[in-house]
């Protein structure tokens, strides 16, 4: 009876508490019971892998063997190799422009810690005041025509000179911003400033560069109060040349350009008068608050009107030289060089904005000249759209004309009197090189323009490093003789006479010459930096695209 009772009890279904939830049901093959009840360690060797036998001392050990010196309590220091990574050593003898440019092109984690050059109290620098000073100086540089990368380098240099590490400046066409993060756990401090007005005053630009140089060198002690005081003096200083000198310089520039293209004394005087009238009308429009587009339209009309008047009077003069001479004073070569420089250094937003500005100015010039030429053709003015300037063998006169052109261009840019003769000489040398390739050797005008502009950029960069100032002082005015005035005039004239194909081709040639000037200047700058003492073992490029 007891055995039957036990059998009946075995056949009864067990409750959930009496059986495991993970037990297989009846009728399912039971799994094999493991040999060991405890699970294996994750550090145990897998099945089929032979245990590692420590190699004798005279044989090299396996890469998978446990190091003999390993200890959980006393672990060896990790060895981090830097093979393949360029070692950058910042030299204090190098110019601050090159040192800061190298810093900006380095990854943030690889930048050395900032060493304060300017002294401050024990509490540290006033971060908001340093950022505000940095933005004010950057605004003056950007509004004066400096490239975006050079503005960022100056802002970065100011912050590091006052001991602010982990600063990131950002420059666009109309906005400057800078961010400072004291540490990874602190909130960042960000400040920005809008550039609303732009002016051309290279004397002020040179003064700002001297201030930044003094702030980044140990030989000068420039406190925040002293920096603010000097910055206020720079802003208050008046332009070195009065208005009547600028107007006269504009006329002389147009006259020198007309002589450079084959005109005589009479053409020089007529072109000068037309440019002076255009400059005065542009000043009048500016005083009434008209945008710059309309100022350029008005300024381009008087030289074109003087050329049309000469053709109606049938005087034995060159109307083309008169009109082209007036255009030399209006073509925005400075903005074009800055736009291409920003594009080549990776600042595409700023470069696009600058190129758009150049395009608007160029269209304004075309509209002004085209309006006058169209009116002249309606009254039967004899203007030859097929004419070109024939090379004239008078090198001495042309060299002197190019010298005067660059001299007056430098005055229009409000350069310091000590730099005017130097930049004029640089421009005269550029014209000699251009004439030797394009006229004497009968080479391509575009290639000749690029080579001459490259020499301008090379000499300008070397001179700027020697005098420790901006390269714009020795570059912008020196490219004056290379500006594409004649191609622009003949393109507009062909369009006025309904020769659209010829006109568009001539304007395309003018655009190609302008780009050759800008690219040549930038290439000359880069070649000059190759021979300068660089702050590192290798000068890294701006890795903003493919990152080679």
pLDDT in tens, 311-363: 888 777 788 888 889 888 898 888 888 888 888 888 999 999 999 998 899 89
Nearest C-alpha neighbor of 169 from the set 137, 217, 211: 137
Quote the CA–CA distance of 13 and 197 in Å, as a whole number. 93
Distance CA 458, CA 426 (A): 10
pLDDT at residue 312, as a whole number: 84
What pTM does this model have?
Answer: 0.77
What does the pLDDT read at residue 196? 84
491-540 pLDDT, tens digit per residue, is 888 888 888 898 899 889 988 998 899 899 989 988 887 776 544 434 44
Angle (CA) 136-110-116 rounded to 5° is 45
Structural contact between residues 272 and 254, judged by C-beta atoms closer than 8 angstroms: yes
CA distance 260 to 411: 19
pLDDT digits (tens, 9 = 90+) for 259-286: 998 888 999 999 999 999 999 999 999 9
Per-chain mean pLDDT for the chain: 81
Residue 478 confidence (pLDDT): 95
Q: In sequence order, what are the residues at sequence separation of 6 or more whose Cβ sits closer than 8 angstroms to the Cβ of residue 412?
A: 200, 246, 249, 250, 253, 329
pLDDT tens, 98-152? 778 777 777 766 777 766 776 555 556 688 999 999 999 999 999 988 989 899 9
pLDDT above 60 for 75: no
pLDDT of residue 24: 65
Band the pLDDT of 544: cuts 50, 70, 90: very low
pLDDT band at 294 (very low <50, low <70, confident <90, very high): very high
**pLDDT score of 436 more than 50:** yes
Query: What pLDDT does residue 37 have?
Result: 52
Residue 105: the pLDDT is 74
* pLDDT value, residue 119: 59
- pLDDT at residue 535, as a whole number: 42
Cα 248 to Cα 409, 412, 532: the distances in Å are 11, 10, 39
């Amino acid at each position: 009876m007891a055995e039957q009772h036990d059998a009946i009890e075995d056949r009864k279904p067990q409750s959930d508490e009496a059986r495991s939830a993970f037990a297989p049901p009846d009728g399912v093959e039971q799994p094999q019971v493991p040999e060991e009840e405890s699970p294996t360690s994750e550090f145990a060797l897998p099945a089929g892998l032979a245990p590692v036998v420590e190699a004798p001392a005279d044989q090299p050990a396996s890469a998978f063997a446990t190091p003999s010196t390993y200890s959980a309590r006393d672990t060896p220091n990790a060895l981090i190799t830097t093979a393949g990574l360029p070692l950058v050593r910042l030299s204090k003898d190098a110019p601050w422009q090159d040192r800061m440019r190298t810093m900006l092109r380095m990854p943030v984690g690889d930048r050395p810690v900032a060493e304060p050059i300017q002294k401050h109290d024990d509490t540290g620098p006033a971060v908001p005041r340093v950022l505000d000073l940095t933005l004010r100086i950057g605004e003056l540089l950007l509004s004066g025509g400096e490239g975006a990368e050079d503005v960022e380098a100056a802002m970065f240099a100011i912050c590091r000179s006052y001991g602010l590490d982990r600063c990131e400046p950002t420059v666009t066409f109309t906005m400057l911003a800078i961010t400072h993060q004291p540490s990874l756990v602190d909130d960042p401090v960000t400040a920005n400033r809008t550039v609303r007005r732009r002016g051309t005053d290279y004397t002020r630009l040179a003064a700002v560069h001297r201030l930044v140089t003094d702030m980044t060198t140990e030989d000068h002690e420039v406190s925040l109060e002293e920096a603010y005081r000097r910055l206020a003096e720079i802003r208050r200083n008046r332009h070195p040349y009065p208005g009547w000198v600028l107007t006269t310089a504009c006329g002389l520039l147009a006259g020198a350009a007309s002589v450079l293209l084959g005109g005589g004394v009479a053409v020089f005087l007529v072109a000068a008068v037309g440019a002076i009238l255009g400059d005065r009308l542009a000043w009048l429009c500016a005083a009434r608050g008209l945008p710059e587009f309309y100022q350029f339209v008005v300024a381009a009309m008087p030289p074109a009107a003087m050329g049309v008047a000469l053709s109606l009077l049938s005087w034995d003069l060159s109307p083309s030289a008169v009109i082209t001479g007036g255009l030399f004073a209006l073509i925005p070569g400075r903005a074009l060089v800055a736009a291409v420089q920003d594009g080549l250094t990776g600042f595409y937003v700023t470069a696009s904005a600058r190129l758009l500005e150049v395009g608007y100015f160029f269209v304004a010039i075309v509209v002004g000249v085209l309006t006058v030429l169209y009116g002249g053709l309606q009254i039967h003015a004899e203007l030859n759209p097929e004419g070109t300037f024939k090379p004239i063998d008078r090198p001495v006169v042309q060299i002197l004309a190019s010298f005067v052109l660059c001299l007056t261009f430098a005055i229009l840019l409000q350069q310091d009197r000590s730099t005017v003769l130097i930049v004029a000489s640089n421009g005269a040398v550029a014209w000699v090189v251009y004439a030797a390739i394009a006229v004497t050797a009968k080479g391509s005008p575009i290639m000749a323009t690029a080579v001459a502009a490259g020499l301008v950029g090379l000499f300008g960069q070397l001179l700027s490093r020697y005098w420790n100032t901006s390269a714009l002082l020795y570059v912008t005015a020196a490219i004056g003789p290379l500006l594409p005035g004649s191609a622009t005039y003949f393109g507009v004239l062909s369009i006025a006479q309904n020769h659209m194909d010829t006109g568009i081709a001539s304007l395309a040639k003018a655009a190609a010459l302008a780009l050759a000037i800008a690219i040549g200047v930038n290439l000359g700058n880069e070649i000059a930096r190759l021979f300068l003492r660089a702050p590192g073992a290798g000068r890294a490029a701006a890795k903003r695209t493919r990152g080679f």
